[in-house]
Chains A and B, each alone.
Chain A
Amino acid sequence: MSAEIQVRVNGKSYESQIEPRLLLVHYLRDVLGLTGTHIGCETSLCGACTVLLDGKTVKSCTVLAVQASGSEITTIEGLSAQAPTNGNGLHPVQEAFWEKHGLQCGYCTPGMILASVELLRANPNPSQPEIRHALSGNLCRCTGYQHIVQAVEFAAKKMKSRKR
């Protein structure tokens, strides 16, 4: 039992022969070697495995790779290509997490950042409650969330002043 899939990941096209039961997160990590997408709970609850599938956040531990065939995927590795950077190779949301201490161990961070990117695209000027609501599918065991919320606010300001 095998299936053929075609996906674009971070702007590159891939064709792979895979088992239909392969989860998207395992495809990204084990087949493509993109280990920036983390596996936390494996039960759809923690958001560590969040990636953008056709521009929308999904938990890649709860999507089959075959379901993603024909789609465009962005992982944390490909994010910086999506916005003007400061010459440091980082997306403004990545930069903001760095500058505002939005991470400690970094395990939840790729998912947090991708969820924040989706939020800021839809709502470039979110309030603190809106940020918390938008990130409610992403758990962090380290920061207590305060610095993450501040990082997203800071990213919103940065992106406005840099204007795409």
Chain B
Amino acid sequence: MIPAPFEYAAPKTLEEALRLVERHGDEAKILAGGHSLLPLMKLRLAQPRYVIDIGRLRGMSYIREENGHIAIGALTTHAEIESSNLLRAKCPLLAETAAAIGDVQVRNRGTLGGNLAHADPAADYPAALLALDVEIVAASTAGARTIPVNEFFLDMLTTALRPGEILSQVRVTPLAAHTGAAYEKLPQPASGFAIVGVAARLRLGKGGKIEDAGVGVTGLGPKAFRAEAVEKALRGKKASDKIFTDAARYAAQGVEPLADLHASADYRREMASVYTRRALKRAFARAQGKA
């Protein structure tokens, strides 16, 4: 379980890293926390010629308020997100989701940017980020561009990042008033990855009417996605257990579920509904200031 040999570079600035990534193209892999890449390299499923370690880039690990949104640097670890007071106050869904990842040791090393760029179909953040409708910033030698999260995950292990780009930041809008959000996950017992994970966000209007809903689902299919049919079934309705149960039935609509030794396609489809209902109920309780 030893990686194949490679050449190693540890740039100190983003500009230097971007130049290296551009120069080495396909032959290079970016290394952040290493908790997805190194296991692949040890199995020799990945054998990059160059490893560009961005772990030493100064100033890419932060959680701060900026022009009305919360900006999170790509190198921020899961543990830092889990314990951030700013996120706990303004967007607790993210802290809750980070706490559900793997185990303490994994959360101490793994980074937000690496988790998103890797696009594991069973990763946790994608569900929460889709429910929150965040923006992802990608840097390149040509400058930076912003990608709406709904356009970021393209397929299993495939994202909208282009060759030469480094994911630099995630921008989150703080939760609006009368809004609640929750993440509910059925973990695979050995690794902790999601067999199914559902994040729900609900904004309530007068008389318990659902003014806006965001529902992100991970683990079910080859990529995380926004359950638009569920959201549509909720918008404009008066919140109730019945409406949550009814809407949750659409969680797997239009998705071909994955099947593996941990869970069959049918089981995953059923669990997508169950966990969607649970996430909606908890988001609702929080939107009312309970739980």
Contact = CB atoms under 8 A, between A and B. Distances in A.
Interface of A: 1, 3, 19-21, 23, 26, 42-45, 47, 50, 53, 56-59, 61-64, 66-67, 115, 118-119, 134, 136-138
Instruction: Tell me what chain A mostly uses at the interface: helix, strand, loop, or mixed.
Output: mixed
A104 B116 CA distance: 40
A62 B34 contact: yes
A19 B3 CA distance: 11
Given A23-B2, A42-B42, A66 B8 contact: yes
B229 interface: no
How many chain B residues sit at the interface, stated as a range, is 20 to 34
B106 A137 contact: yes
B261 interface: no
A21 B105 contact: no
A43 B191 CA distance: 10
Interface string B119-144: 00000000000000000000000000
B39 interface: yes
B19 interface: no
B38 A64 contact: yes
17 contacts: A3-B8, A19-B5, A20-B6, A21-B2, A21-B5, A21-B6, A43-B39, A43-B42, A44-B38, A45-B191, A61-B1, A64-B8, A64-B31, A66-B8, A67-B31, A67-B34, A137-B102
B108 A57 contact: yes
Given A21-B6, A44-B39, A57 B34 contact: no
Given A19-B5, A58-B109, A62-B34, A67 B39 contact: no
Contact of B106 (A19, A42, A44): A44
Which interface residue of B4, B79, B103, B190 has the most chain A CB atoms within 10 A? B103
B35 interface: yes
Contacts of B108: 53, 56-58
Contact of B7 (A20, A56, A138): A20
Contact of B1 (A42, A56, A64): A42
Contacts of A20: 5-8, 51
B104 A118 contact: yes
Interface in B187-207: 190-192
B6 A1 contact: yes
B53 interface: yes
Interface in B82-124: 102-106, 108-109
Contacts of A136: 103-104, 192
B10 interface: yes
B55 interface: yes
B129 to A, nearest CB: 24
Contacts of B109: 58-59, 62-63
Given A20-B7, A58-B109, A115-B104, A43 B1 contact: yes
Interface string B38-58: 110110000000010101000
